[in-house]
Structure 1
Amino acid sequence: MKKVYFIVLIVSLYACREQRKPVPVRTEPDYEKADSLMSSNTDSAFYYYNKVATNSKDSLLIARAYNGMAIIQTDAGDYFGSQQSLLLSLKYLDETKEENQYCLLSDYNELGNTSLNLQNYDAAINYYNLALKFSKNQQLNRIALNNMGVAYYKKGEFKQAIEIYRSIIDSTRKNRKEYARVLSNMAKVLWLQNPDYRALPDFQTALRIRKAEKDDWGLNASYSHLADYYYKSYPDSALSYAGKMYDISRNLNSPDDELEALKKLIMLSRPERVKMYFERYRYLSDSVQAARNTAKNQFALIHFDVEKSKTDNLRLQKENAEKNTQLLMQSMIGSLIFLLFIAVIIVSYRKNKKRQERLKQESEIARREEKLRASKKVHDEIANGLYRIMAEVQHNNLEKEKLLDKIDALYEQSRDISYEWKREEPADFSETINGLLNAFSSEEQKVTSSGNEAALWAGVNNKVKQELLPVLQELMVNMQKHSGAGSVAIRFKKEHNILQIHYADDGKGLPENFRKKNGLTSTGNRIVELRGEFNFDIDSVKGLKIRINIPIN
C-alpha cells in the first residue's frame, strides 16, 4: 500500500540528507538540480541523477545518485528497476567509511521497501536488519522496526510482529503520530492472531489521535483496519469505514489505497452500487497500469539517452583528436594537399551526420512501434478482459467473491505483460549476463557461472540473446524467492550449433505438487519460440537442476 512506501520514504530521505550534516560530502551542479526537482518533476530529477551516475568520478556521489533514482522508481511502481539501481549504489559504497553510512542505511531500507512491495518478505526483513545496522537515530530505528513488523505479519508470522511492536511502543508515546501507528498495527496483528481479541479500543484510540493530529495517512490506515475488523460482525459499520477510506485516499491522491478501498466497497455495498464502484475500479486500475508502464519505459529511455550522449561525446573527442593530427601532418606537405584533405573531411562529416540522423530516426521509430505493441497488448488482454467481467456482472449476477477473484487474476495478468518487452542488443553480451547474475549474488546466496565468455556469444542470433535475458532473470527471481539455496551454478556451453545452459542450486528443489506459474510458463514459452528445450531434472536428489538447449542460428 502507498502508506507503507510513504513511511519508508521518510527513512530514505532523512538518512540520505539529514545524516550527512556531520560529515561534509562533495556535490555537483547536476546532483543539486536533481535534489531540487525531486518533489516537483521526478522525470527531470531522474535525468540529472542519471547524468551524475554516468559521468561523475566521485564514488559516493554516484551511490547517492543511484539511491535518488531508486526512490523515484519505487514511487512509480518500477520495483525491479529500483532494486537494480540500489544494488548499483551499494557497489560504490564502503561500509568502513563514516561518510558512506547514511547512504548504506537508505539503500538497505529502500531494498526492504521494494521487497515488501514484491511480497518477498524474507528479503525485506533481512534488508531492514541491515538498515538498522547503520542507523544512529532512534526514531529511524523505530520506523524501520515498524516496517519489519509489517513484513512479519504479511508473512503470517504474527508472534514475531507482535514482539517487535511491543518492544517499541513505549518509546513512541512522546510522538503521538508514531504511537498511533504502532498501536494500530499491533492491535491488527493481535486480532489476526486471535479473532476473539478486543482490538476495537486500540483502533479507536489510534483513530482519535490521528484526527487530533490531522494525520491523513494515518487516518487512511485506521479506516482500513476498522473496515476489516467490522467486516463480518457489523457490515454496515465496515461499509461506512470503507467509504471514509475511499474519500481520504482520493484526497491523498493514492491510487493503490483507492483501489483497496474500492475492493472493500464492492464486497460490502448493495448490488445497485457495485456496478458504479466496479467501473471506477476498472478505470483506475487501467490508468495505474498504463502510468507505471509509461514510467518504466521513460526511465529506460533516459538511461539510453544519457549513455548515448556520453558515447557520442567520447567518439567525437576521439575523432577531433585524429583530425587535428592529420591536419598537422598535411600542413607539412603543402597547402594544396591540406585543402584537399579538408574537403574530404567535410564530405565524410556530412555523410556521417546524415547517417547518425537516419539511425536516430530509425531507433525512435522502433521505440514508438514497441510502445504501440505494448498498448495493443494491454487493450487486447486487459481491456477486453475487463469488459468480459462487466458483461458477467451485468447479465449473470456474478457473486462478489468470484468477482474479486477475477479482478485479482486480471491484475496479475497485466503485470506479466512487462515480461514481453524487447531490448536492444548490448555491446558486450557476456558482461550483460555477468551483471544480471551478480545482481542476485549475496553473502547468503552465491551465484557463480562458467563458460560465459565473449567468444561463446559470437555468432549467436540476436533474438536468442533478447529472449535469454528475461529467461535467466526469471530463474534468478524464482531461486531467490523460493529455493532457499545457498549456492547457484550456471554453466554455458556451445556444441554443434546448440547453446547449452545448465542451472543447478542446492535449495529445496521442486515440491511434489509443483506447477509452473506465470513466470516459468512465460519462460518455457520463450524457449519453445526459439525451437529450444527447457527441462527440469526431477531425479535430482537435492536442489534443482534445469537444462536449456537452444539452436543458436
Structure 2
Amino acid sequence: MKSTFFSFLFFIIAFHIKAFSVNIPAVSDSLNYYIQIVDQPQNADELIKAYKFFVRKKEFAESINDINSVVYANIQLSRIELKIGLPYESEILAVKALEQINAHPDSIYLNTLKNSVYNHLGILYRSQKNISKSIELYHKVLSQANSVRDTAIVFNNMSNAYKDVADYAKAKKELIKAYQLIPRLSDVSLKAKILDNLGALKLKIGDSSAIYDLKKALNLLLKNGDTVKAYYNYKNLANYYLTKDTLKAKSFGLKAYAIANSMNNLSNKRDVLAILSELDAKTYFKTFMEVDRVLSNRKALQANKFALMKYDVSKKEKELQEKEQQTRLYLYLVLLIVLITIAFFYILSVKHKKDRLKQVLQTESRISKKIHDEVANDMYQIMVKAQAQEQTNILLDDLEAVYLKTRDISKENSVINTSQNFKETLQDLIASYDTSDVNIVTQGLSKIPWQSLSHLKKVTLYRVLQELLTNMKKHSKASLVMLVFNKEAKLNVKYTDNGVGCSLIKQSGLQNMETRIKAIQGSITFETRKQAGFKANILI
C-alpha cells in the first residue's frame, strides 16, 4: 500500500508540473532589441510588439518564480504604458513592481531595479505636472545612485522637471550639477544630451552663450557617428537662429527634418515643421497641418489598438487563471478521492485484524471449554476408577500430571471477565505466578482507569502478560519480576525480570505477543541479553 501511495504522489507532482508550465519565449526574441524599442520607440506599433514580448517574459518568469525577471518585466511594461499615453495604468504597474521588490530580501540587483522604478515614477509625475512628487522621487534615486552616470541622469531629469513649470533658475542649477560631471563621464550620448539641454535652457532665458553648448553637443555626436541622435541638436540650433539668421535656421531645420523623415517619426517631423513654417509658411505650413492631422488620427488609432491588445492580454490571462483553477480543483478532487480510498482500506485492514483477534479469542475460549468439559473430566473419571481398582501409584501420578496439564491449558485459554474489577483479574493472574521461588512486585496497577479500556484491549493485555509470566516461569530462572503500570495518553506497562535472559530471536511466543498488540494498534518492544534479564515495554 505504501508503494502505491508514493507512486500516486509522484504522478500528482508530475501532473502538477505539466499542468501549470508555460511556454518558454522563443530564443529568437532579443531582450536588447525590445529594450531599445522602449528607450527610443519609432512608433506605437513597435511599442505594442515590445509590450507583447514583456508580457510573455513576465509569464515565463512567474512560472519559474524568478522575481528579478518579473519585476524587470513589470518596469518595462509600465514604461510602455506611459509612452503609449496611459499614465494611470503605468503608475499602478510601477507601484506593483515596488511592492514586489519590498516583499523580498535586499539585493544589489533589486536595489538597482528599485531606483529604475523611482526614476520612472519621477518621469511619470513630471508628465502629469506633479513636479513636487517628481522631484521627491528623483531625490530617492539620487540618494542610492552608485555611479557618476546615474547621478548625472538624475540631475538632468530634475532640470527637465523644473523647466516644465518654467522654474528656469532651479532647472539651470540642477543642470549645472550634471554639466560639472561631464569630464568624468564616458557616455558620449549623455554628455551631448546634457550640453544640448543646457544650451536649450540658456536659449529660453536669453543667455547668449547657448550657441557654444549647442554646437559642442552637436560636434560630440557627429564625431561619435550618432547622426540620428543629432535631431534635437539641429532642432535647437534652428530655434536659436530663428530670429538671428533665417538661412542658418532653415539649414538646421531641414537637417532635423531629414533625420525625422528617415526615422518616419511623425511627432519629430511635426515639431521641426512648426519651426520651418515660421520661416516659410507658404512652403511648409500645409505639410505641417497634414502631418499634425495624420499624427492625431494615428495616435487615436494606436491608442485604441493598444487598449484592444491589452484587453486581449487581460482576457487571455483571465482564461488561463480560470483554467488553472479548474485543473487544480480536479486535481485536488482526485487526490481527495484517493486519500479517502486509502483511509477506507486502512480502516478495513485494522477492522480485519481486530476481527481476527476476536476469532482467536473465541477459539481459545472454545478450546478451553472443550478441554475442561471433555478431556479433564474424562481424565478425572479414569483416576477415580483406578483408585477404586487399587491400581499402582505410578498410574495415578501420570494421570494426575495429564490432568494438571489440561487444567493449565484450559486456564490459559479460558474466558476472561473484563466487565468488572479487571484490576482484581490481573492481580489474580499475577498472584498465580508469585511463588516462594519468584517474587513479583507491581506498581501503579490500582491507579489505572481500567474502565476506559475496551474489552478487546483488556483481553489482549491479559494474554500478553500471561505469556510473559509463563515464559518467565519456564525459561528465565528469575527470582524477581517488576511490573510497572502507567496511564497518560496511552497505557504503558513495563515488565522487567532478573532472569538469565536470552538471545532476542522472535520465535512463536514473542511473535504471538507482537501480533496481539499490533492488532489493537499498540506496540511492544523487547530488550534482553544472556545473563542480563529480560525487559518488555507495552504501549496500548
TM-score (norm 1): 0.49
Question: Do 2:273 and 2:284's aligned partners in 1 also have CA atoms closer than 8 Å?
Answer: no
Structure 2 equivalent of residue 181 of structure 1: 193
Q: What aligned pairs does 1:331-370 form with structure 2 within 5 A after superposition?
A: none
Pick closer, same or farther for the CA change 1:136–1:148 going to 2, 3 Å: same
> 3-state SS of the aligned residue for 2:101?
coil
Number of the residue aligned with 1:97: 106
Could you tell me how far apart the structure 1 residues matched to 2:25 and 2:150 are?
A: 25
Answer yes or no: is the 8 Å Cα contact 1:149–1:165 preserved in 2.
yes
Partner of 2:181: 171
1:133 is aligned with what amino acid?
Answer: S
User: Gapped runs of 5+ residues in structure 2?
Assistant: 1-21, 35-48, 345-540
Q: 1:140 to 1:53 in 2, by over 3 A?
A: same
Structure (1 or 2) with the larger CA radius of gyration: 2
Structure ranking higher on relative contact order (CA contacts 8 Å, 6+ apart): 1
Indicate which of 239, 248, 254 corresponds to 1:228.
239
Is 1:111 aligned with 2:121? yes
Instruction: List aligned pairs for 1:205-220, cutoff 5 A.
Output: 205-220=216-231
**Residue pairs, 1:492-511, within 5 angstroms:** none
User: 2:215 matched to which residue of 1?
Assistant: 204
Q: Quick one: distance in 1 between partners of 2:343 and 2:140?
A: 66
> Structure 1 residue 217: deviation in Å?
4.8
- 1:108 shift after superposition: 1.0
**With structure 2 as the length reference, what TM-score do the two structures score?**
0.50
Does 1:254 pair with 2:265? yes
Residue 33 of structure 2 aligns to a residue whose secondary structure is: coil
Q: Indicate how the Cα distance of structure 1 residues 280 and 187 shifts in structure 2: closer, same or farther if over 3 A, else same.
A: closer
Q: Which residue number in structure 2 is paired with residue 475 of structure 1? A: none
1:145 — aligned with what?
155
Please point out which of 136, 141, 145 is paired with 1:131. Answer: 141
Output the amino acid matched with 2:212: P
Equivalences for 1:321-470 in 2 at 5 Å?
Answer: 321-322=332-333
1:316/1:72 Cα in 2 relative to 1: closer, same or farther (>3 Å)? same
Give 2:74's aligned residue: 66
**CA shift at 1:77, angstroms?**
3.8
Change (3 A) 1:170 1:331: closer
- Secondary structure of 1:215 counterpart: coil
Q: Deviations over 1:231-281 (max 9, x none)?
A: 333344333322222211233343332232233233332324421332122
Identity %: 19
Maintained 8 Å contact 1:49/1:69: no
CA offsets, 1:132-188, max 9 Å, x none? 222211112112211221111122111112122222323213544333322221122
- The Cα of 1:101 is off from its aligned counterpart by 0.3
Matched to 2:30, the amino acid is S
The alpha-carbon distance between structure 1 residues 206 and 329, as it changes in their structure 2 partners (threshold 3 A), is closer
Contact conserved, 1:132 with 1:141, CA < 8 A, in 2? yes
The corresponding residue for 1:88 is 96
Q: How many positions carry a matched residue from both structures? A: 305
- SS of the residue corresponding to residue 93 of structure 1 reads helix
Counterpart contact for 1:52–1:65, Cα < 8 Å? no
Per-residue CA deviation, residues 381-428 of structure 1 (Å, 9 max, x unaligned), is xxxxxxxxxxxxxxxxxxxxxxxxxxxxxxxxxxxxxxxxxxxxxxxx
Q: 1:78 aligns with which of 61, 86, 94?
A: 86
For residues 296 and 56 of structure 1, what CA distance do their matches in structure 2 show? 28
Aligned to 1:39, the other structure's residue is in SS state: helix
User: How far does residue 127 in structure 1 lie from its aligned partner after superposition?
Assistant: 2.1
In structure 2, relative to structure 1, the CA distance for the partners of 1:53 and 1:233 (3 Å cut) is same
2:253 aligned partner:
242
Deviations 1:444-501 (A, max 9, x none): xxxxxxxxxxxxxxxxxxxxxxxxxxxxxxxxxxxxxxxxxxxxxxxxxxxxxxxxxx
| Structure 1 residue ranges without an equivalent (≥5) | 1-27, 334-553
Cα distance change on mapping 1:294 and 1:98 into 2, 3 Å: same
Letter in 1 for 2:195: L
Tell me the residue number matched to 1:42: 50
**More displaced, 36-45 or 303-312?**
36-45
Aligned to 1:529: none
8 Å Cα contact 1:67-1:107 kept in structure 2: yes
Q: Are the equivalent residues in 2 in contact too, given 1:31–1:65 (CA < 8 A)?
A: no
Native 8 Å contact 2:91 2:124 kept in 1 = yes
Q: CA RMSD in A?
A: 3.4
CA distance in 2, matches of 1:170, 1:129: 18
Residues 110-135 of structure 1 deviation map (CA, whole Å, 9 limit, x = unaligned): 21222333443333322222222222
Q: How far apart are the structure 1 equivalents of 2:89 and 2:176?
A: 35
